[in-house]
Amino acid sequence: MSDYAKRNGEGDHRIKDDDPKAIALLKEEHHKFRELFDQANDAEGDELVEVARELSLRLTVHMTIEEEILYPVGKQVGDADEVDEGIVEHEAGKQLMAEIDAMDGSEELFKSKVHVLGEQTIHHIDEEDEELFAEMIEAHEKGKIDLDAIGEELRARQADLYDQIASGHDVEPLSEDEALAETK
Ligand SMILES: [Fe+2]
Ligand SMILES: [Fe+2]
C-alpha cells in the first residue's frame, strides 16, 4: 500500500492556474507517476507487469524531454549541482528500468525492483517540484526564460518520442486538457 498520489493536490506538487506550460506538463506527468506507482504497489502478476511496462515507457519519454530541453535551461537559471544530481538519478532509474524490462514478471525480485524504482522516482519528482521547478518559475516570472515556449517544445518532442518508442503499445501522452482540468 502506498498513497503517493495524495501529494498531487498538495503544495508545490499541485498544478496551479498560472503555472507556465512547461511546468504544468511535467507536473501532470509526475501526478501520473504517483498514481501508477500506487497502482504497482497494490498489483500482482500480469497487472503488475502491465503497470511496470507503462511506467517504463512514460518515464523514458519524461526523462528524455527533461534532459534534452528542460535541464539545460534549469542549469542556467537554477542550482547546477541540483540539475546534475537529477541526471544521476535519471541514470539510476534507467538502469533499474532496463533490468525490469528484461524480466517477465515471474522473477523473485521483480516486484521489489518496481517498488524501489517507485521510491527513487517519487523522491526525484518531489524534489523537482519543490526545488528546480520552483526556481525556474521564479526565473520565468522575472522574464529571464519563457517556460510557455519551452512547454511547446517539450510537447512536440514528447509526441515524437511517443511515436517512436510507444507505437504498438496502448500508451499515449497525457492531453493538455487533463492538466487544465486538474487546476479547476
Ligand atoms: Fe527528472
Ligand atoms: Fe520530472
Nearest alpha-carbon partner for 134 in 20, 5, 8, 9: 20
Q: How far is the CA of 129 from the centre of ligand 1 (A)?
A: 10
pLDDT tens, position by position, 93-115: 999 999 999 999 999 999 999 99
pLDDT tens, position by position, 70-87: 999 999 999 999 999 999
pLDDT average, residue stretch 127-139:
97
Does pLDDT of 147 surpass 70? yes
Q: How far is the CA of 125 from the centre of ligand 2 (A)?
A: 5
Q: How far is the CA of 167 from the centre of ligand 1 (A)?
A: 23
DSSP the chain: ---GGGGGGSGGGSPPTT--HHHHHHHHHHHHHHHHHHHHHH--HHHHHHHHHHHHHHHHHHHHHIIIIIHHHHHHHS-HHHHHHHHHHHHHHHHHHHHHHT--S-STTHHHHHHHHHHHHHHHHHHIIIIIHHHHHHHHHTTSS-HHHHHHHHHHHHHHHHHHHSTTSS--PPPHHHHHHHH-
Model confidence at 168, pLDDT cuts 50, 70, 90, reads confident
Does pLDDT of 145 surpass 90? yes
Q: How far is the CA of 31 from the centre of ligand 1 (A)?
A: 13
Query: Chain-centre distance of CA 98, in angstroms?
Result: 17
Does pLDDT of 184 surpass 60? no
Which cell numbers hold the place of 161?
Answer: 518520442
Q: How far is the CA of 106 from the centre of ligand 2 (A)?
A: 29
Q: How far is the CA of 171 from the centre of ligand 2 (A)?
A: 18
Q: How far is the CA of 142 from the centre of ligand 1 (A)?
A: 24
pTM of the model: 0.94
Q: How far is the CA of 144 from the centre of ligand 1 (A)?
A: 22
For CA atoms 26, 123, 1, 5, give the dihedral sign.
Answer: negative
Q: How far is the CA of 32 from the centre of ligand 1 (A)?
A: 14
How far apart are alpha carbons 114 and 9 in whole angstroms? 24
End-to-end CA distance of the chain: 28
Model confidence at 183, pLDDT cuts 50, 70, 90, reads low
Mean pLDDT of the chain: 94
Per-domain residue ranges of the chain:
17-179
How far apart are alpha carbons 116 and 95 in whole angstroms? 12
Does pLDDT of 172 surpass 90? no
Q: How far is the CA of 138 from the centre of ligand 2 (A)?
A: 18
